[in-house]
Structure 1
Amino acid sequence: MLGLISLVSISTFMSIMFPTIYGIALEVWEMNLKLVLLVSYGYRWWALMPVAQGWILDWGGDGFADLNILGLFQR
């Protein structure tokens, strides 16, 4: 349950962060279209992260954990 709450919280704050950083990029780069498009494409890839995380959890099953991947969790 804690993992689900964490995932939803991270996704929420990523959604809030996007317009803020995009607005800062527009101000700092003074409407340099190529750099602004680079930033926007980067955030489009980050929008796919929840899908990738779900795929990893589906692939790994119940015993799949971050600590287990890093070798820090012993059963």
Structure 2
Amino acid sequence: NGLEMKIYRNGALQNISTGDGNCGSSVPGYQDLGDLFLGKDYTGKIDDVVLFNKTLTQQEVNMLFNLETCCQQ
């Protein structure tokens, strides 16, 4: 919503970061997401990152998490 940034892991809310609504140079880059939300000691990999320009409901988050993949491996 411009004031909050939420991160979900496996469909569950993990953290909320607040800001001033200004998307200037203070917005974290993709390389900062792990530090910002998971802590500086996080050493794993992050995939399937999606940014939305609207606030998602918990129902929308659950729907996205439960989507079937389009490609089989």
Q: Judge same fold: TM > 0.5, yes or no.
A: no
- Higher normalized helix content (fraction of residues): 1
- Compare the two structures and name the one with the higher strand fraction: 2
Larger Rg: 1
Normalised-by-shorter TM-score class: under 0.3
TM-score normalised by the chain length of structure 2? 0.27
Q: Structure 1-normalised TM-score? A: 0.27
